[in-house]
Amino acid sequence: MELSENEKKSWKQKYPLLEPITNLEPTLWLNPNLKEEQYIPELPLTKKDMYEAEKLWKRFAPFFKKAFPELEITNGYIESPLKSIGKLKPVLEDYYDFNIDGNLYLKSDNELPIAGSIKARGGFYEVLHYAEKLAIENGLITYDGNYEAFLSEEFRSFFQQYSIGVGSTGNLGLSIGTMSATLGFNVAVYMSADAKQWKKDLLREKGANVYEYSGDFSEAIYAGRQETIADPKGYFVDDESSKHLFLGYSVAALRLEKQLEEMDIKVDADNPLFLYLPCGVGGSPGGITFGMKQLFGDHVHCFFVEPTHSPSVLIGLLTGEKDRISVQDFGIDNLTEADGLAVGRPSSFATSISEHLISGIYTVEDDELYKMLTMLADNENIYVEPSATAGLIGPKHVLESVYTEKYNINTDNATHIAWSTGGDLVPEFDMKQFYEKGKSFLV
């Protein structure tokens, strides 16, 4: 419920940055609770958990290879390329009037197979983890068995007794719905009002039950949770507090580490790495940050980015209230075209881990997302959804701030990676509209 004017005023006195945030101005917040590696308090997850999660993907590789022919060439692994975007870089610098020290790359999760978004990491992982647990507990398979069996009639009819539910603004539902239906689960997706029609249509096509809610994401989650757990064999994928989603995302760090090595990109004190991660509830950027910090410690600098209309993790961390506070409490409407980021209240699990690991958060206006979408298309021939472009403006915010000076970082040889989080499944018609909109803002 919205705070009273007096309550808002006292929050703003305590945290003056809330003034521009509630005025919906693009803002950069540097995290005063960022801890050096050696001072990071004990976290609820460890590096070992991340390596265990990677092993699950490995066990399921034969399953993926058989279920999805497009994964034949990657041997059943789901991964996206890291791309240099050297043609876009001078265009961004020119348009936004700044200089990027070092190189700019795009981590192209918009190309992740099957789900077309970063949700292939967390969403698929959680469904597979649950399916594996059920199969092992019921004596259907062992950890060293051939996981192609997950596609057999025996497994399908076994999973048909169980149901999986999820609340989603769109992409999470797509990933959970697709993977659950592939395995034979009954799956229900509870969508918020801003979820795109084509995402609902696609899910229904895949055999998922789609329920639409007139309110925002939190309402869809609430309703979905109640409905799902009413079934004794129901399992709810809870974006507001899921450890499994988080671990699925964290594996991206191990993959990126390998790609950096292969591309001969160094990460150390003289070669700092900056990541710019689009943020909704904070699960995907939090999981990736957790993983990258485990691998690169103080040499990696992770910034989240949220829409000016949905700065939920920003307000949660700035005030220290985390999931106890929402953007609506401050009268912010949570209305944005970046549907993957349209979240009013942060994840409790992810946010408590990100608290000491992230360097900061900046916000971006929807119009800029469209502009960058069109610039990326025109200069690199890469088409992504509006949410996915948010990281591209990161270097400007960070390099123009006191951050590098404060932490004494030499950025001459910096590597900047904007994480592109979704886009491949967007229908051509919708993509054309995104593009045209960006074009119209650029003239």
Please say which residue, 184 or 282, places its beta carbon nearer to ligand PLP: 282
- Answer for the pair 419, 118: CB distance below 8 angstroms, yes or no: yes
- Can you spell out the DSSP letters for 340-369? GG--SS--HHHHHHHTTT--EEEEE-HHHH
**Least Å from the CB of residue 9 to ligand PLP:** 30
What residues between 236 and 295 interact with ligand PLP by CB under 6 A? Answer: 278-285
Looking at beta carbons only, is 187 or 288 nearer to ligand PLP? 288
**Of 65, 107, 119, 200, the one binding ligand PLP by CB under 6 A:** 119
Using the contact rule CB under 6 A, the part of the chain among 113-121, 183-191, 192-200, 373-381 near ligand PLP is 113-121
Nearest to ligand PLP of 191, 267 (CB atom):
191
From residue 304, alpha-carbon distances to 88, 405, 429 in Å are 21, 20, 30
Q: Least distance in Å: CB of 237 to ligand PLP?
A: 12
Token duo for residue 294: 């485990």
Nearer to ligand PLP, 267 or 343 (CB): 343
Measured from the CB of residue 388, what is the shortest distance to ligand PLP in angstroms?
Answer: 5
How far is it, in rounded angstroms, from Cα 224 to Cα 228?
6
Q: How far is the CB of 285 from ligand PLP (least distance, A)?
A: 5
> CB-wise, 272 or 391, nearer to ligand PLP?
391
Q: Which residue has the tokens 């077309």?
A: 116
Q: Are 247 and 53 in contact (CB under 8 A)?
A: yes
Smallest gap from residue 27 Cβ to ligand PLP (A)? 18
What is the nearest approach in angstroms of ligand PLP to the Cβ of residue 174?
9
Considering the complex, what minimum distance in angstroms separates the CB of residue 423 from ligand PLP? 8
Within 152-191, which residues bind ligand PLP (CB under 6 A)? Answer: 171
The residue among 186 and 351 lying less far from ligand PLP, judged by its C-beta, is 351
Strands 360-364 and 186-191: unpaired
118 binds ligand PLP (CB under 6 A): yes
110: Cα within 13 Å, side-chain hemisphere = 27
Looking at beta carbons, which residue is closest to ligand PLP?
280
Closest CA to 398 of 34, 109, 81: 34
Closest CA to 192 of 2, 369, 346, 336: 336
Helix (H) or strand (E) holding 300: strand 300-307
**Binding span for ligand PLP by CB under 6 A among 116-124, 192-200, 254-262, 329-337:** 116-124
**Rounded (10°) CA dihedral 307, 305, 115, 196:** 0
Give the neighbor-by-neighbor strand order of the sheet with 163-168: 209-212, 186-191, 163-168, 234-237
The binder of ligand PLP chosen from 28, 166, 221, 341 (CB under 6 A): 341
Catalogue the long-range contacts made by 54-58 (C-beta closer than 8 Å, 24 or more residues apart).
Answer: 54/251, 54/254, 56/125, 56/128, 56/129, 56/132, 57/125, 57/251
Please, which of residues 379-418 interact with ligand PLP by CB under 6 A?
Answer: 385, 387-388
Closest residue by Cα to residue 120 from 178, 76, 161: 178
Stretch that binds ligand PLP, among 39-47, 99-107, 252-260, 339-347 (CB under 6 A): 339-347
Identity of the residue, 165 or 282, whose beta carbon is nearer to ligand PLP in the bound complex: 282
Q: Which residues bind ligand PLP (CB under 6 A)?
A: 117-119, 171, 278-285, 340-341, 343, 385, 387-388, 421-422
